[in-house]
Structure 1
């Protein structure tokens, strides 16, 4: 019986996509005793996994190496090994295309490869964030057509959204509660049992994949809307001469009915900046416009340009223009204390500054270089008094905790702090907050 095989760790796990979601999941599966095979189209990732070399911050180097040595975890480019697995988690990217519409090509191509080798009794779960209906309307037909198997009779299919928060010291893949929505009660039971056999967090089941898909979008749209609200209020408070960061600190003293969100130079990461676009795109199919969501997206998308406008006003007080000024951007990661710069608003800020003719250098203790549009941009190797003194303006776009902000304050002409990273610095004469 399949449930017994799961509980006794007698099944083989496959994880398609070995990125920020897939590799930590593969490691957790292997750690509890499931033989796990990772599938990826990037040969470098496959080679690194097979050597026991880690490239994801949320994975412990020694654990990965130990699992590979024990034969519990391996990786391959060859999708024909799908025939050897009993459980498949699809963890591939779901970006937006150039028209801000969902790009599900990675999901589609992965499913087409899986379908060629899918065997009877296999469990397939999509973890990639997507629009409601993807599992049933896209994945199910691809798998059935390519395998000549019938969903519900011959294989199990469901959706369980990834919940990965890079750098979170409290919640990780192992202990974060999981949501499962599958096609049919049997699929729901076996998929939930599989995750309960691996994770410490609660497994919450819902009645369909569409419920789980919408739930994931709700999580991140909720944050997008609230961040849009505080970004708009931050712009208003700047005009009114009010310290909005102090306003938030006062508001969060209320023990009920308020959750603190903070303004910034824009949204970063794979989920919050992208998920609302999935929902607004799908809503148009029903002749519905998500007006509140779209408004928040417009506000958040404009924040990099707004920050550059504010930077220009600060430089004007020095009788300088953006054009020709030298600016140091502190932080290109999308959040503090991580090396992930996916969709980072800091990179947008740099691009907008350069469009205005500014000479931009950056320093990030976690990101020494980044690639954008196929071009590599290298950062400064060290944050020195000489570097800080050499620039006309410092813009803080990521609030890393291992930066010497006292040094920044001491040697800077002017500082534009978009993250309130310097809140503990006493001398604030040259600091302006977002």
Structure 2
């Protein structure tokens, strides 16, 4: 059966979208230039380890329902709807790297047919869809957006590992170049989502992503700053949060941690890479949040060294076990995970490092493989210090606290008094 929908970019945002479309009985093709990704999917395997949004069984169900994965861009010319889900990451200059979405748009433009609906889901700055993607599509196809084809933006709201909120029951925000573009996008997403929310236009929909992502980073930064402050004055922050979240209005609980990772990077529109434009001033809250969250791995290292020292041990030669090295609980995706910086600093201090993570079978730090603990409790008992970085559901923290010589819980998940908390 010919595909009706194409997902361009089969990463952590594209695959869940393809799964949702396939589950809604929409004939779907997935396009990616990485042949290894395509080979893995065709074989019924996950292209990356444990991203939390899909399983190998889920991939096989998609294939049996008719999903196809390909590197052939000719497939893009046979669909009525195409979604660009290519990754965008922060470069060294803190501007988003739009290379991947530009390449995806060029691949689509060469095959674009009249009346196609083109959707962008990647994280971008307000104005990117119209000022960066639109010219690529129009120049490569000879068609005009809003007249010959529909163009819209919808911020991805995938939350890997979330068992309560999936693609179907999470409201989908959309904004089109024209009202007709918005309605075309609404008609498509209405087939796979329970609720569609129409934004005023493209820029408003793009700004939703900026607000949602920065809201998370700013509030986590506040929780992280409170964690350091409360530790210094001898206050149990975790009890403070427990009490504060009983307030039925004006407060939402955020909790500290060893750092912030994942694919939702903090977006500061002052750094516009596609035209070299600048607002002339930064979003100061975003800059400060990034600074605070960025220094948390160093704070974790300080706490590790202090704990070891208080118990008559030096970081040099100490056996340190890290638990959970992905960026999120119950997810093996390592994108932006603070575990890597923490591990690297421990190695540089001379610690003997090992790790345990049920979702990560192999892990490398500073180019060297890190030994994986096969038996969790035995490894915790043998380690001078065990550090919980992610609270996976499979971890029995009460049991771990009994076995571990020293347990530093950076997630506040252990029973009160059972471990040292961040």
TM-score, normalised via structure 1 length: 0.91
Do structure 1's residue 235 and structure 2's residue 228 form an aligned pair?
A: yes
Can you list the C-alpha shifts for 1:193-240, whole angstroms capped at 9, x where unaligned? 11001222x111112211111111101111111111111111011110
Match of 2:404 in 1: 412
After superposition, the C-alpha distances for 1:154-209 in whole angstroms (9 at most, x for unaligned) are: 11111101100001011111211100011001101111111001222x11111221
Q: Tell me the C-alpha RMSD between the 2 structures.
A: 2.1
Q: Deviations over 1:23-76 (max 9, x none)?
A: 121122122222111001122221233344445643365554344235x31111
Shift of 1:142: 0.6
DSSP-derived class of the 1:279 partner: coil
Alignment match, 1:105: 99
1:25 aligns with 2:20: no
State whether structure 2 residue 48 is matched by structure 1 residue 87: no
Indicate conservation of the 8 Å contact 1:418/1:433, yes or no: yes
Please give the residue correspondences for 1:176-215 in structure 2 after superposition, counting only pairs within 5 Å: 176-200=170-194, 202-215=195-208
Q: Which moved more, 1:345-354 or 1:304-313?
A: 345-354
* Cα deviation digits, residues 272-293 of structure 1 (max 9, x gap): xx133x4342497111221122
For the 8 Å contact 2:241–2:253, the answer to whether it is kept is yes
Equivalent runs, 1:372-383 vs 2, <5 Å: 376-383=369-376
Contact 1:368 1:378 survives alignment (8 Å): no
| C-alpha separation in 2, matches of 1:93 and 1:361 | 31
Q: Distance in 2 between matches of 1:308 and 1:250?
A: 28
Indicate the residue corresponding to 1:68 in structure 2.
Answer: 63
Aligned residue in 1 for 2:335 = 342
Whole-angstrom distance in 1 between the partners of 2:400 and 2:376: 9
The question of whether the paired residues in 1 share the 8 Å contact of 2:344 and 2:366 is answered with no
Q: Which residue of 2 aligns with 1:323?
A: 316
Aligned to 1:433: 421
From 260, 271, 286, the counterpart of 1:281: 271
The answer on whether the counterparts of 1:280 and 1:294 sit within 8 Å (CA) in structure 2 is: no
**Does 2:135 align with 1:141?**
yes
Judged with a 3 Å threshold, the aligned counterparts in structure 2 of structure 1 residues 66 and 232 are, in CA distance, closer, same or farther, namely: closer
* Residue 10 of structure 1, CA deviation: 9.5
Change (3 A) 1:330 1:66: closer
